[in-house]
Structure 1
Amino acid sequence: MAIEFAHSPLLTFAAGLAVVVLLLVVLDLPAFVGLTIAAFTVGLVNAVFVPDFAMADAASRTATAFGDNMAGIGIPILMAAIIGKSMLESGSAQRIVRGFQSLVGKGNSDLALWGSSSVLAIPVFFDSVFYLMAPLARSMRARVGKNYALYLVVVGAGAATTHVFVPPTPGPLAVANEIDVDLGITILVGVATAIPAAIVGGLVYGRWINARLDIPLRDAMGTTTEELEERAERETSNLPGVLESIMPIVLAIGLVGSATAVDAFDEWYPVLETVQPVVAFLGDKNVALTIAAMAAAVTYLRWTGLSRSVWEDELTEALKSGGNIAAITAMGGAFGALLRASSIGTYIADGLQEFGIGLLVTAWLIAAIVRIAQGSATAAMLTAAGIMAPLAGQLDVSAAYLVMVIGAGGNICSWYNDSGFWLVKEIGGLTQAETLKTWTALTTVISVTGLVTVLLLSSVLPLA
């Protein structure tokens, strides 16, 4: 029987925070084990304070949330592990890195990664972009011999800013639909907001933290540091060609992007409805990344001279690594889901409505605090959108700016209760402290910069 208590959501959050810090930081338990225990603990606290949440639900809801998260990221992460290992060990990633450097110069490698990540994230989910770009960041570090913190930050900045500001990515698209604002205006304002946020977060903060944090290459994604460094020293003639090297990325982005494009334009071009079922199948991220993984694996076999049996064993090793990453990422999402079950998002949002703050700042605060408390950027954005939508008519500026501040708030402070935190940590080969200093800090910089950009833009160009 649950006990009615006004502050129970905050107690649930405090209990979850205390347990996860104790287990993961103080006791240094394996991430999956620590997150599982933390999720169970939050569930038990919910059983005390949340109506209709039984003690048995602490276990069953954790397992269900873990399964739901695994359904969303399991296949993509496993296929990304094959893509990463294949591209790194075949030399494909190194060949792409050298192509970037020939275009922009060795001293501007961060610009190449930043721009590529930003553009790729428009039609594709953040996690898919990071899966594909992380091997390039690792190969760039092996090639240059330094700047790994910078390369990871610029990849994360490009993908994260587009993810929360620019439709047709799902978060801002759903918020724009909830608030009922013109999509074309939202896209233009989103681009205008995303560019400064990506520059400040990726290039400015990335270079600042890189000068203060030297992150070494570690074994990750089934590939050792020694193997990466060996590929970095190869002659270009002994590496796959540019087209073959980049094919996995082209396939993944092209297939997923085609599905996004058909969904966006079939209303205006009915002929697209005839191909929609096929495109929807091929453009599903599970299928698209599987096709991309097969292309990468074939190149791996062609350029390493491995026997079929050894090649199969190597891919199996990659899948083992990917399975660990998927499990940690899914359980991080489950921990956040148990926090959400306490209704902490609604509790915080209702409390903030009582303060007399401007609507744009209020929307940012609601999304930001909900995001920090329960982990999911999309859930935070939709919570804030549902609360602010009836108030949009009171704005003196375009409601597109409201979409942007909600996206900015929802991006802030990705930490232990966000599956994205664990994704970046595990695929990047980082420690928890390094992830907090790079990824968590980056998402916060993007959030604050996005808010400031919107406040400045809306005062100069209200579009109302």
Structure 2
Amino acid sequence: MDILVLVLGILLLLVLIIKFKFNTYVSLIITAVVVALGLGMAPAKIATSIQNGIGAQLGELALVFGFGAMLGRLVADAGGAYRIAHTLINAFGRRGLQLAVVLASFIIGIALFFEVGIVLLVPIVFAIAAEAGVPILTLGIPMAAALSVTHGFLPPHPAPTAISTALGASAGLVLAYGVIIAIPTVYIAGPLFSKLAHRFVPDAFERRGNLKALGPQKTFKLEETPSFGISVLTSLFPVILMAIATVYELVFHGGKLPKTPNGLDNVIAFIGSPSIAMLISLLFAMWAMGYARKLPAKAIMTTLEDAVKSIAMLLLVIGGGGAFKQVLIDGGVGDSVKNLFVGSGISPLILGWLIAVVLRIALGSATVAAMTASGLVLPLMQSAGIQPALMVLAIGAGSLAASHVNDAGFWMFREYFDLTIKQTLLTWTLLETIISVVGLGGVLLLSLVV
């Protein structure tokens, strides 16, 4: 019965978003209420469950996402991302263009949300492709692969950070394992897949793109942008802090701090927590991308305010996903899923990935798919003793699969590269699916040794 209510609830969510064009956040809350009633929860407790879900989800994430958006905007507005891309492309030369684009997109992708990263990098990719005389998709596919992988696998991005919070996983371990999986995944879905795509959809590689779709672009003079070193350091600062904490815990404490930590343990744990790491990184970015370049305080604060406005709805959607997840847990759906699959022999990691894939195909939003899947597999993960960081990455991989017409990323890629629907399905959709499948393979291999 609980499973039937869940299925009907997801169908309701689909109808509200696709048929009636309801806002995603509003749709999630309505669905959470309807599902809670269907599961037999006491009406007086439904509001509390929804509030708890939103509060638990956004408690730390509001800090991480807010500071992360500010840091990324500071790097972008100062020309730091522009400097990173051009320096790497010049260093690798014509023969290494794809690798240069992958590396630049990976570094920039850690600091910037997917949508911001693609808007920032597409004009650079177009200009470099024209100068080198190569099709824009030859560079566009590796760029999209690197941005998508950071978006799906690596904190402090929304989905992996949100799932880490929901499943109680260490963000540092998710980051460490995520990088291990991300490197081969980007290569396979980027440079390798672009060669294959060129063979079976050659007409897509003849397109010249559509820069007008990006709107007015901010232009930079390379000599006026921050140095390459300071731009990379600023972009990777939160990753460096979380990596230091993770390595310290693994080397000195076997992966978990003792119950009675000493002074150094406390300091490392403090700077390595995602919210504090992002705060310290933001303060460094304000200096490196602002004050050190003689920008007035007012201009810096305006950049921060604009950054927050751009993620306001994303925060609400993640909060709505947390509410839906909490209702599923409080209503017992997670336990029903556990009981359904506990004797099936299916790995909980594969199950988490599969649920996320189905939800991604149905709902379009990777973040909503990931959040809903985390609520369903949490009891199963706990009973099977699965490493939470691996489950985060399995769900993150599943949430990227088969992006199609109900996903904003699909339309962005189609519009910017001026593709037909068929060409977009054969490039972007396949690219995302390859990332998902290869990512799952990486998680399963890692599960054999951790």
Q: Which residue of 2 aligns with 1:12?
A: 6
Distance 1:66 1:142 in 2: 37
Question: Match of 2:265, as an amino acid?
Answer: Q
- Structure-2 residue corresponding to 1:91: 79
Task: Give the secondary structure class of the aligned counterpart of 1:266.
Answer: helix
Which whole-Å CA distance do the structure 2 matches of 1:112 and 1:132 have between them? 20
Residue 240 of structure 1 deviates from its aligned partner by 1.3
Structure 1 counterpart of 2:276: 287
Letter matched to residue 25 of structure 2: F
Equivalent in the alignment of 1:339: 328
| CA distance 1:114–1:64, change in 2 (3 Å) | farther
Q: Does 1:26 align with 2:12?
A: no
Measured against aligned partners, the alpha-carbon deviations of 1:139-167 in whole angstroms (never above 9, x if no partner) come to 3212123555652332332564578xxxx
Shift of 1:70: 1.2
One-letter amino acid matched to 2:370 = G
Distance 2:182 2:394 in 1: 13
Contact 2:141 2:194 in 1 (8 A): yes
Closer, same or farther: CA 22–243 of 1 in aligned 2, 3 Å = same
In structure 1, the residue matched to 2:362 is: none
1:79-117: CA deviations, max 9, x gaps?
122112211111011001112212334675553465578
Contact 1:252 1:288 in 2 (8 A): yes
| Residue number in structure 1 paired with 2:251 | 265
Are the aligned partners of 1:81 and 1:318 in contact in 2 as well (CA < 8 Å)? yes
Looking at structure 2, the residues matched to 110 and 330 of structure 1 have their Cα atoms a distance apart, in angstroms, of 37
Give, as a single letter, the amino acid of the residue that structure 2 aligns with 1:335: F
For the aligned residue pairs, the C-alpha RMSD in angstroms reads 5.0
Deviations 1:206-233 (A, max 9, x none): 78599599997899xxxx85244x23xx
Partner of 1:240: 226
Residues of 2 paired with 1:365 and 1:381: CA distance? 11
The answer (yes or no) to whether the contact 1:95–1:242 under 8 Å persists in 2 is: yes
Give the Cα separation in 2 of the matches to 1:311 and 1:290: 15
What is the rounded CA distance, in whole Å, between the counterparts of 1:452 and 1:86 in structure 2? 36
Whole-angstrom CA distance in 2 between matches of 1:277 and 1:290: 17
1:255 equivalent among 241, 252, 260: 241
Which of the numbers 32, 43, 50 marks the counterpart of 1:55? 43
Aligned residue in 1 for 2:341: 352
Q: Which amino acid aligns with 1:32?
A: Y
Q: Which letter maps to 2:65?
A: I
C-alpha displacement of 1:241: 0.9
- 341 and 215 in structure 1: CA distance in 2 versus 1, 3 angstrom threshold: farther
TM-fit CA distance, 1:32: 2.6
Q: Is the 8 A contact 2:352 2:395 kept in 1?
A: yes
**Residues 323-352 of structure 1 deviation map (CA, whole Å, 9 limit, x = unaligned):** 333222332333333334443333234323
Paired amino acid for 1:75 = L
Report deviation, 1:267.
Answer: 2.5
Letter in 2 for 1:237: E
Report how far residue 264 of structure 1 moved. 1.6
Within 2, Cα distance between the matches of 1:99 and 1:443?
A: 28
Q: Percent identity?
A: 18
Deviates more, 1:152-161 or 1:198-207: 198-207
Q: What letter corresponds to residue 152 of structure 1 in structure 2?
A: A
**What CA distance in whole angstroms lies between the structure 2 residues aligned with 1:23 and 1:444?**
26
Work out which of the residue numbers 30, 38, 58 in structure 2 matches 1:70. 58
Residue identity in the other structure for 1:92:
G
Give the length in aligned residue pairs: 393
TM-score, normalising length: structure 2:
0.67
Query: Which residue of the other structure, out of 385, 389, 410, is the alignment partner of 2:395?
Result: 410
Q: Any conservation in 1 of the 2:118–2:144 contact (CA below 8 Å)?
A: yes
Partner of 2:314: 325
Paired position in structure 2 for 1:143: 124
- Kept in 1, the 8 Å contact 2:152–2:399? The answer is no
Amino acid at match of 1:338: V
Aligned to 1:103: 91
CA distance in 2, matches of 1:327, 1:314: 21
**Alpha-carbon distance in 1 for matches of 2:26, 2:208:** 28
Give, in whole Å, the separation in 1 of the partners of 2:395 and 2:283. 35
Name the structure 1 match of 2:67. Answer: 79
- Residue 111 of structure 2 contacts residue 236 of structure 2 at CA under 8 Å; is this kept in 1? no
The separation in 1 between residues aligned to 2:232 and 2:180, in whole angstroms, is 29
* Code of the aligned partner of 2:145: V
Provide the secondary structure at the position in 1 that maps to 2:302: helix
- Structure 1, residues 163-198: CA drift from partner, whole Å, max 9, x if none? 8xxxxxx97xx9999xxxxxxxxx999998766544
